[in-house]
A and B are shown apart, each in its own frame.
Chain A
Amino acid sequence: MKGKSDCLSNNMESIKSLILKHLRAEITAEEQTALDVWLAISEANRELFAGINDPDRVALSLEKLGRLHEDQVWERLQAYGAGERGAGEKRGHFLRRYWWAAAAVILALLGIGSYWVFNNVAQKQIALTQEQRFKNDVAPGKNSALLTLAGGQKIVLDSNARGAISQQGNTTILNTNGQLVYKVATSSKQQATSPATYNTLTTGRGNQYQLVLPDGSKVWLNAASSIIYPSAFAGTERKVVITGEAYFEIAPLTSEGGHEKIPFIVKANGMEVKVLGTHFNVNTYDDEEALTTTLLEGSVKVSNGADNRVLRPGQQAVLSRDQGAAKNGGGAIKGNLASIRVVNDANIDEVMAWKNGVFKFNDATIESIMRQVARWYDVEVVYDTKVSQHFIADVPRDVPASELLKLLELTDQVHFKIEGKKITVIR
């Protein structure tokens, strides 16, 4: 006999099924319509649906479920059932009083036990523990750079070089907290005529630095990179040369008469990026497969001497390296006049991760991960094994190397040894 409750339960089962299918993204159009009908019926329905699709709330509930002691409760229930057949309810009460005491002991053991089991499983496959393999830790990179002035004078930019550290013509060079600022005396009218003096800012491995150019443009320099720039901009264009990787936020600049916009040009190993005022990232590391320019805002023109492309925000220009040259530690872009490849919808988060103080790997090989690790931690990376797995990760940069490596090891697809400044990738 079908009562009201039976009808309700059938309905609930089908709604449950629809919602789960929706969560799994396996729902058919027809089913979606049925779900939409249910959602349209009441605010309560919509509220329920929203709740199940809310990651924060679901996570909280899942965590609670994980804390339950289903097996113990089952044991207790079975014991109750046995007692039920025998002496009846009295035994049930007796059990109840002591349940928590017994459970507390079991729980404590279980707590340690399951953590151990997981850890042990991971350890079975490698000979040494993490503690044995990580002989030391490696500190993350820091704000430090070397400034070379026009005359050849070198200044190390660290906490000892504070405030105004030099004067170049009408420009005062100030250093504070990881940022080098070129301040041009505003009243000066001599800028255009005085000869340009070029300075170089260099970061070693394990360093990064920020630079504010005489026109107010900002540059973030990643590890193992450099930028050559004038202490004051003059003429009809602003030109800098970089190696390694830098992110730019270029201030627009107009000529004295106010008629023309003065373009900003970044040159790097055969690639030239021309901008009027915009935000973009240039990656020209020698050991990467290609030179890239990724545009966040504004507009840039990227050229390789023969071909050029204008980028829109979100696009990335890729100039492939001659593969042979890359292996020998640095090559110009492909000799033949191959076109520049433009990638739409570049992963901006991934490109800008370094500037935002994080590592972001999206389906990355272990080699590309370790190249970034080598530059930032200033270590040598050696491979004892080939890892074919790809990785997705999101970790801050200002933590010691072991943190990142420990997380990579959690996947059980790769392990590491740290010895001094050398990291070995092992099976």
Chain B
Amino acid sequence: MISPYIDDTSLLAGFHQRETLAEKQVFQKYFKPLCLYSENITGQLDASEDIVAESFERAWSRRQDFHTLENLKAFLYRIVRNASLNYAESQRRHRTHHEQLRYLSKDEPGLGEALEHEILRVELLQEIYQEIENLPDRCGQIFKLLFIHNQTTDQIAAQLSINVQTVRTQKARAIQLIKIELLRKNRIQAVFLLGLLLEYTR
């Protein structure tokens, strides 16, 4: 998809003018990384998705306040972070047993280095995800089936009476294959079978 917005400045301008395409691009640029970022704090993907959705609404309602796209991004990460920490804290109080909060930025709020690393991490993961989504032909379909359509993981696990963690482990091994083979732009002619999944059915 070719974007009519040639750079961040024109994208933001479109956003200011409530152009749907601009809004959509801004949303798609930040939605996934923000969800991963939030989930790392809350440990609950569903709640994080809700938090991120509300954060976008708040950004939407003050759209004219952002002078650069970076401002908008910083705003989103800041409120997502705060909302996520609040949520995690409120959950901790309600929990009957202790669970560790997975990740808390060691630094103060704002664009400290730790936050920047975390943003880099989630943005990289978004890129990798997008590359898998864009894989053509059967290879891509199979990988998408197994990596992206989560209900299939559960279905496979249920079907074979193995636990989901085992399935995930096998999928991780297949990621190794992605790195080496598929991201070299389909150099390999063979078709992958992810029968790795069955390896622990004994």
Contact = CB atoms under 8 A, between A and B. Distances in A.
Nearest to B164: A63
B121 A48 contact: yes
A70 B172 contact: no
A407 B195 contact: yes
B176 A62 contact: no
Nearest to B123: A16
A56 B39 contact: no
Interface string A17-36: 00110011110000000000
A60 B116 CA distance: 21
Interface stretch (B54-62, B78-86, B93-101): B54-62
Contact of B189 (A65, A74, A390): A390
Contacts of B142: 410-411
A237 interface: no
Interface string A133-150: 000000000000000000
A393 interface: yes
Contacts of B13: none
A190 interface: no
B36 interface: yes
Interface string A101-130: 000000000010011001000000000000
A76 B184 contact: no
Given A12-B116, A61-B125, A63-B150, A395 B145 contact: no
- What band does the interface of chain B fall in when counting residues whose beta carbon is under 8 Å from A? 35 or more
A57 B45 CA distance: 16
B198 interface: yes
Given A9-B70, A396-B201, A77 B56 contact: yes
A213 B68 CA distance: 79
A389 interface: yes
B168 A25 contact: no
A89 B62 CA distance: 12
Contact of A20 (B127, B132, B141, B152): B127
Contact of B153 (A56, A63, A358): A63
Contacts of A165: none
A404 B60 CA distance: 51
Contact of B57 (A48, A69, A92, A410): A92
Interface string A272-296: 0000000000000000000000000
Contacts of B52: 73
Interface in B113-163: 113-114, 116-117, 119-121, 123-129, 132, 138, 141-142, 145, 147-153, 155
Given A73-B31, A92-B57, A411 B191 contact: yes
A55 B172 contact: yes
Contacts of A392: 190-193
A80 B129 CA distance: 28
A256 interface: no
A66 B147 contact: yes
A427 to B, nearest CB: 15
B53 interface: yes
Contact of B198 (A24, A52, A58, A395): A395
B190 A68 contact: no
Contact of B150 (A5, A66, A358): A66
Contact of A6 (B28, B49, B68, B169): B68
A36 B63 CA distance: 39
Contacts of A53: 179
A115 B193 contact: no
B104 interface: no
A118 B179 contact: no
A51 interface: yes
Interface in B28-79: 28, 31-32, 35-36, 39, 45, 49-50, 52-54, 56-57, 60-61, 68, 70-71, 74
A62 B149 contact: no
A19 B127 CA distance: 11
A412 interface: yes
B5 interface: no
A70 B31 contact: yes
A345 interface: no
A413 B191 contact: yes
A70 B32 contact: yes
Interface of A: 5-6, 8-9, 12, 15-16, 19-20, 23-26, 44-45, 48, 51-53, 55-56, 58-70, 73-74, 76-78, 80-81, 84-85, 89, 92, 96, 99-100, 111, 114-115, 118, 358, 363, 389-396, 398-399, 403-404, 407-408, 410-413
Given A65-B35, A74-B31, A395-B195, 7 more contacts: A62-B132, A65-B36, A67-B150, A78-B20, A389-B191, A392-B191, A393-B193
9 contacts: A16-B123, A23-B179, A26-B184, A44-B117, A61-B125, A89-B61, A99-B53, A114-B151, A412-B138
Interface of B: 18, 20, 23-24, 27-28, 31-32, 35-36, 39, 45, 49-50, 52-54, 56-57, 60-61, 68, 70-71, 74, 111, 113-114, 116-117, 119-121, 123-129, 132, 138, 141-142, 145, 147-153, 155, 168-169, 171-176, 179-180, 183-184, 189-196, 198-199, 201-202
